[in-house]
Amino acid sequence: MAGWISLGISGANGRMGRAFQALLRDDARFELAAKVARSDDWRTAPKLDVVIDFSTPQGLDAALAHCEAHGVPLVCGTTGIDAAQRKRFDAAAAKIPVLYAANFSLGIAVLTRLLREAASALPDWDLEIVEAHHAQKVDAPSGTALALGRAAADARGRDFDEAARFGRHGHTGPRKPGAIGFASLRAGDIVGEHTAFLVGDDERIELTHRAYDNAIFARGALAAAAWLAGRPPGRYTIDDIVAARAVS
Ligand SMILES: NC(=O)c1ccc[n+]([C@@H]2O[C@H](COP(=O)([O-])OP(=O)(O)OC[C@H]3O[C@@H](n4cnc5c(N)ncnc54)[C@H](OP(=O)(O)O)[C@@H]3O)[C@@H](O)[C@H]2O)c1
């Protein structure tokens, strides 16, 4: 797009909203035209080229309604949305460009590609996914670890729910061939680390991603917003951004 991209942030006062505003101070691509902190704020929003929503499921509903009504592309990273809301989001793709990702790190998007490739090329190697996060995280394994496991199972043509093994304790018996094992560490202030171990006879591949700051998600979402503005309606993915950036 030529010139500044007029951007709206939904969830502007949250942790991610503040991370966006910090990055936008030095980002010449965007003009931050709307900071939306509650659903009512949309009533006074100016004309926008793209909206980024990192808020709550209710915040996403309001952002989606505004974007559909005004033909504005929507990038969304809000988690905890249910199947009905996911359906509404997907249906909006008939009218506007939409892009959803549960993890906006471009590094994780590339790691997912590498894992798909490795898992399908080495279908009989054992696969274990180990993740580490800060002590305050309440769920395990991380959503990203699960998404990596699903991508690997998919690349191998395996059913994820059947292959997944969560944690091990006591007399577990030998490893089941084809299993995808998960292990979680919780300690201190670790932002997020994921390693996929692919283990064959006498050799091993380790694919690791380490996040050092939450800004990586904001950076990835801004790359997605710059890419999505001006596109035709449709459902896009973070992998489209990776493909668009790749040097051919
Ligand atoms: N996809 C990714 O890569 C990624 C990465 C990080 C986080 N996330 C997700 O992004 C979301 C936000 O994360 P966060 O850490 O920034 O959470 P947060 O600090 O709790 O921020 C959420 C913000 O949304 C606001 N909000 C509530 N209702 C709203 C509405 N109707 N319209 C607009 N804003 C509304 C909240 O305001 P009040 O406090 O006034 O209610 C709050 O300021 C979460 O779902 C999180 O899981 C995704």
One fold for both 5-100+214-245 and 106-211?
no
Give the pLDDT confidence score for residue 245 in this predicted structure.
Answer: 87
Report which of residues 15 and 73 the model is more confident about: 73
Look-up of token digits 């009989």: 124
Domain segments of the chain as ranges: 5-100+214-245, 106-211
- DSSP annotation of 202 reads T
Considering the chain, what is the average pLDDT of its residues? 95
Closest C-alpha residue for ligand 1 atom 19: 14
Which of the four pLDDT bands, split at 50, 70 and 90, describes residue 79?
Answer: confident
Question: Which atom of ligand 1 has the smallest separation from the CA of 18?
Answer: 16
Q: Tell me whether residue 157 is exposed, middle or buried, using C-beta atoms within 10 angstroms of its C-beta: 0 to 12, 13 to 18, 19 or more.
A: exposed
> pLDDT category, 1, cuts 50, 70, 90?
low
In angstroms, the Cα distances linking 2 to 5, 21, 174 are 8, 22, 59
| 234-236 and 203-211 beta bridge pairing | unpaired
* Nearest ligand 1 atom to alpha carbon 77: 1
Topology adopted by domain 106-211 = Dihydrodipicolinate Reductase; domain 2 (3.30.360)
Tokens of residue 30, six digits: 């965007």
- pLDDT of res. 248: 74
Interval 47-74 mean pLDDT:
97
Residue the block writes with tokens 């359906």: 87
The finding on whether 55 has its CB within 6 A of some atom of ligand 1 is yes
Distance (Å) from CA 101 to ligand 1 centroid: 14
Active site residues: 133, 137
CATH superfamily of 5-100+214-245: NAD(P)-binding Rossmann-like Domain (3.40.50.720)
DSSP label at residue 98:
E
Find the mean pLDDT for residues 125-148: 94
Helices and strands in the chain: count of H runs, count of E runs = 8, 11
List, for residues 28-55, the tens digit of each pLDDT value: 999 999 999 999 999 999 999 999 999 9
Query: Would you say 227 and 7 are in contact if contact means Cβ atoms under 8 Å apart?
Result: no
Nearest protein CA to atom 9 of ligand 1, as residue? 78
Query: Average pLDDT for residues 110-139, to the nearest whole number?
Result: 96
Residues 47 and 114 sit within 8 Å (Cβ to Cβ): no
- Give residue-wise pLDDT tens across range 185-243: 999 999 999 999 999 999 999 999 999 998 999 999 999 999 999 999 999 999 999 99
Please indicate whether residue 13, judged by its CB atom, sits closer than 6 Å to ligand 1. yes
> Which mutation among 10, 55, 108 tests ligand 1's pocket best, with the greatest number of atoms within 8 A of CB?
55
Residue 7: its pLDDT value, please?
98
- Over 90: is that where the pLDDT of 246 sits? no
Burial of residue 212 (CB within 10 Å: 0-12, 13-18, 19+) is: exposed
The confidence score (pLDDT) of residue 104 equals: 95
152-185, pLDDT tens digit by residue? 999 999 999 999 999 899 999 999 999 999 999 9
Nearest ligand 1 atom to alpha carbon 58: 31
**What is the rounded CA–CA span in Å between residue 225 and residue 7?**
8
What does the pLDDT read at residue 65?
A: 98
pLDDT at 3 over 70: no
pTM of the full structure: 0.88
For ligand 1, whether the C-beta of 208 sits within 6 Å is: no
